[in-house]
Structure formats: C-alpha cells, structure tokens
Amino acid sequence: MKTLKEKILKLKKEKNAIILAHYYQEPAIQEIADYVGDSLGLSQEAAKAKAAIILFAGVHFMAETAKILNPNKKVILPDLKAGCSLAESCPPHIFKKFIDAHPNHIVITYVNCSAEIKALSHIVCTSSNAVKIVESVPEKIPIIFAPDKNLGNYINQKTGRKMVLWDGSCVVHEAFSLDKLIALHKKHPEAKIIAHPESETHILATASYIGSTSEMIDYVKTSPYNKFIIATEAGILFKAQQEVPEKVLIPAPSYEDNTCACSECGFMKMNTLQKVYDCLLNESPEIIVPNDIRKKALVPIERMLELSK
C-alpha cells in the first residue's frame, strides 16, 4: 500500500503540478516539495513555474502572490484559513486613508500583505531585499513602509531613513521572551544568536546576525561557529539542520510554555500532508484574485523581482 507521501508524488506527476513550500511548513511537507524557500525565493520560483498547477504550501498571501504572477495557472492552497497576523494587521480601506494622509510618499510594502495592499503599493519587498529596495528610492523622496513596524524600524536603523511606518507586526516574531533568551544564552554562552528582522528591537539588539530566513540558513552554513540560537519561526530548523547536521541549532524561546519551547506559526502549521493530498486531488481550495486588483498588484511585485536580479 502506498504511503501518503507516495500518493502525493504520483498525483503531482499526473496533474503536472509543482509544490512550493515555505521554510515554516512542517518537515513532512518540506520533504515532498519541489522547492522550499523564503518569500523572495518562492516568488521567483512562482514567476518561472511551468507546471499547470501550483500547490502553495504556505499562507494565503504567498499563494495570492503566486496567482498574481501566474493568472493562467491554477494556484491551490491546502487550507484557505492559513492566513497571517501581519497581513491581517493592515486592512486595505484604513491603509488607503493612511496613504492619503501622506501625499507624495512612495509606498513600499513587505510581501506579507494582501493583494489589495499590494495593489496600493509602488514596490513590494521581502526581508531578503528590503534594504536594497529602500535604498533604490532617492533619499529626498519620503517613504511609507508597511505592514511590519519591526522590519521597518530595522531598515530605518540600517539605512538612516525616516520611513513612516504602519503599525503592524507578526505574532510569532513578537512572541520571543527576552528574559528566557538571555537565560538560554547563559546556558550556551558559545552560541551565536541570530534573528529575523521581523523580531522586536530588543531581540534584534541581542543578535550577532540579522537576516531573512534564507540568509540565516546561509549564515549558519558558512559561519565558523558551531552553535546557534535562532529567533524566527521554528520550522526553519528542519532545513537548516539538513544543511549542517554537525552543528547545534536551538530555537529561541517564546513567552508561552508550549510543547516545543519555541515559536511556531499556527497559520503555517494549518497545512498538513493529508490536506496537501486532498487539495491536489480536488484541485481546491483555489486562489482567485479579481483581475483589476491582480493587474495593479503585479506592478510592484515585478518591480521587486527586477530590483532583486
């Protein structure tokens, strides 16, 4: 009898589908994916996808981005309820008023937002290319940055810009406990703390290295150090550990005393192997983006992809 993984792989071939998975997906899903990456890598893969169906193992805004880039392909998401607290912290009608209150500003939005928000933006960015994209805007032009205030603060510090920030954040990256992190570091003083820029400023202040999920994995791979405390969603540990089986990777602790003593994204973990199978079998739930919004949202995404080459 075939295992669920084997059934998914067979179905994937029969249906000419590809599976794109985010680093925060559960290991079993990462194992059957054609590509595992962060938001930038996933957008780039989606842009060059040749398959008829893209199954996006991630959250809703990621699948939406894939659909915006591939209007003629079927994009499916295993669980339509897999949202994102950061994307939800930026409702389009209120954001539109915010833009109107800041005339002449360029609007740069982090990819973790809805298609409607992208449609209101000049350029989209990810945590991998955010600094580069902000620096591509001449200094005299003021910028609105949304929706993540922590990433925005980090970019302001790095670039010396004074971008106007939308007050949004990610529940997962704001769940790290500084006290527990310091106590953990005392137990492992030789470990390097590395953090995602969506984390709060006081967590970033403890880090020896700050970078996107892909950059964090590269850092762990190439760094001469052997032990790391990692402040981002704990799913990244699976891929990172595969790359460096000999190194010790410890998830940064969250306030909550959960089973893994780390910070996990409940939205990302809504996708399961069974749901991936069902989704592929039924070619549903499908992601639909209204054409007028899709066309407007495509422009800032393409600008990002062009600037990231």
**Chain positions contacting ligand SF4, by CB under 6 A:** 59, 84-86, 112, 170-173, 233, 265, 267-268
277 is in an annotated binding site: no
Do residues 221 and 185 touch, judged by C-beta distance below 8 A? no
- Least separation in angstroms between residue 198's CB and ligand SF4 is 6
Do residues 196 and 231 touch, judged by C-beta distance below 8 A? yes
Q: What is the dihedral of CA 140, 146, 150, 156, to 10 degrees?
A: 0
Q: Which is nearer to ligand SF4, 12 or 76 (CB)?
A: 76
39 is in an annotated binding site: yes
- Least separation in angstroms between residue 85's CB and ligand SF4 is 4
Residue 72's contacts (CB-CB under 8 Å, 6 or more residues apart) are none
170 is in an annotated binding site: yes
User: What count of other Cβ atoms lies within 10 Å of the Cβ of residue 140?
Assistant: 5
φ, ψ dihedrals at 64, nearest 5°? -60, -40
102 is in an annotated binding site: no
Reported as type and span, the H/E element at residue 255 is none
DSSP tag of 227: E
299 is in an annotated binding site: no
Q: Which is nearer to ligand SF4, 27 or 71 (CB)?
A: 27
- Least separation in angstroms between residue 149's CB and ligand SF4 is 13
Q: Which is nearer to ligand SF4, 40 or 265 (CB)?
A: 265
- Least separation in angstroms between residue 264's CB and ligand SF4 is 9
Look-up of token digits 């106590």: 183
**CA–CA separation, 119 and 13 (whole Å):** 34
213 is in an annotated binding site: yes
Q: Which is nearer to ligand SF4, 176 or 277 (CB)?
A: 176
Helix and strand numbers, DSSP H then E, in the chain: 15, 12
Q: Which is nearer to ligand SF4, 234 or 297 (CB)?
A: 234
- Least separation in angstroms between residue 42's CB and ligand SF4 is 12
Q: Tell me the β-bridge partners of 76.
A: 55, 286
Binding residues for [4Fe-4S] cluster: 84, 170, 265
Binding residues for iminosuccinate: 22, 39, 110-112, 127, 196-198, 213
